[in-house]
Amino acid sequence: MTSFLLDSRLEADTFRIGESALNLLLLMNDSRYPWCILVPKQVGLREIYELSSKDQSTLLTESSVLAKTLMSTFSQEKMNIGALGNVVSQLHVHHVARHQNDPAWPGPVWGHSQAEPYSSDNQEKTVKALSQSALTDYFTF
C-alpha cells in the first residue's frame, strides 16, 4: 500500500499548519493574501468527485469553516475558492481571501506577480490567529 505524500510543489510553496482526519491545512507562503489550501490525505486523488460521499461532505464543511475564518480573522471582502489542478494534479483546494486593494484585484492571484514570502514573525502571527479560531474544532495545529 502506498502512503500519502504531499506534492513537492505544494511542499515547497506552503507551510503545514494543521491537520484534520481528512485534510492537511497549508498556508501559502505569500504574505500578500490570507491564502490556505486543503489537501485530502488520500493517495492518487485528482478530483473532488473521487472522494467518498462522506469525505466530500467533510471537505465541504472544513472548506466552509476555513473560508469563514479567513474572511473574519483578516477582515476581507471576497473569498476565492478553487480546485484547479492544472499545474499540480494532486487534489487540493485553494482558499484565498481577497479585498479591493490587494495587488491582483480583481483578477486571479495565480501568475499575477512574484510571491512575497512571510517573515518568520508574520508567519507566526498568522498561524497563531488561525489556531485560536473556530478551526480548532476541526484541525489540530
Q: Strands (DSSP E) along the chain, which ranges? A: 14-19, 23-28, 35-40, 78-82, 93-98
Question: What is the value of pTM for the model shown?
Answer: 0.96
Task: Look up residue 20 and give its amino acid.
Answer: S
In a domain, 23, yes or no: yes
Residue 116's CATH number:
3.30.428.10
In a domain, 2, yes or no: no
In a domain, 1, yes or no: no
Q: Which of 46-55, 94-103, 107-116, 131-140 has the lowest mean pLDDT?
A: 107-116
- Domain with 87 in it: 8-135
Domain count, the chain: 1
Q: What are the tens digits of pLDDT across the range 39-94?
A: 999 999 999 999 999 999 999 999 999 999 999 999 999 999 999 999 999 999 99
In a domain, 71, yes or no: yes
In a domain, 46, yes or no: yes
In a domain, 3, yes or no: no
DSSP 135: G
